[in-house]
Amino acid sequence: MRSSSIKVEANGKVDQVKDKSSSNEAARGSLPFKILFRDYMESLVVAIVVALILRFFVISAYKIPTSSMVPTLKVGDFIFAYKLSYGIPIPLSGGERWGGQLPQRGEVVVFRYPGNESVIYVKRVVGLPGDRVAIRDKKLVINEVEAEYEPLPDEAIKDLPGREFYAAFKESFAGSTHMVIRSRSDESDSFGPVVVPPGHIFVLGDNRDSSDDSRYWGAVPIKNLEGRVGLVWLSFDWLNRWGNERYPSIRWERIFKSVR
């Protein structure tokens, strides 16, 4: 009887040892998953923080919904704007920037529309603070100096809807050269002159007769600037669709095209 009792106690001890070993193996099995999950979450948080910093301080992406900047920017273009071009944005300052500087005449900029700052506009800078801006017979005049215009062949606007009603030109002023289009009718169209107030810029669309710009709602406060447009990174052509007219074609020639 005594030996039988000892045998039972021995078996009990063995069972206890096995139970402890099983729990240790389960703990070791769950440990790699916990480490992987923690590493994944840390990487995700870091990626989100970096993306937010880049979005707020360095670069932002926008889509072009209208034709006001044709032919430079077309409907369906997706663009990148560099925020550091005009200084480092100061959070919660209402648009103030550290080390801010003025844009150059001729640069294409993204800004918050003065009438509704939740709306983003894209236009070309033509006047800086103190400049005297006018349009005479559809020609831009800055500080009594008329921009130079070189007619371009119709091939330059071959994909523009209603292109027979427009004429394309190479416009040059203040060291900037770019394409603009004007309506073939009413060559006597004029504006101004107006003097750009301090702390503001005067902007125009490159589609001069189909653009809502500073001619209609005034100069843009410099603090409303979001950044300088650098390039087109993608472009959809919704006028030429495929797949039973459901999908836009891609303008491959515009991908990663610089904007000037």
In 202-231, which positions are buried (b, 16+ CB within 10 angstroms) versus exposed (e)?
bbbbbbbbbbebbbeeebbbbbbbbbbbbb
Residue 7 designated active-site? no
SS (H, E, C) 18-35: HHHHHHHHHHHHHHHHHH
Pick from 252, 132, 128, 140: which is nearest to 205 by CA?
Answer: 140
Buried b (16+ CB within 10 A) or exposed e, 158-169: eebeebeebbbb
Q: Yes or no: say if 147 and 171 are a contact pair by the CB < 8 Å rule.
A: yes
Strand partners, 220: 201
The answer to whether residue 68 is catalytic is yes
Catalytic residue among 123, 138, 139, 214: 123
List, by residue number, the catalytic residues: 68, 123
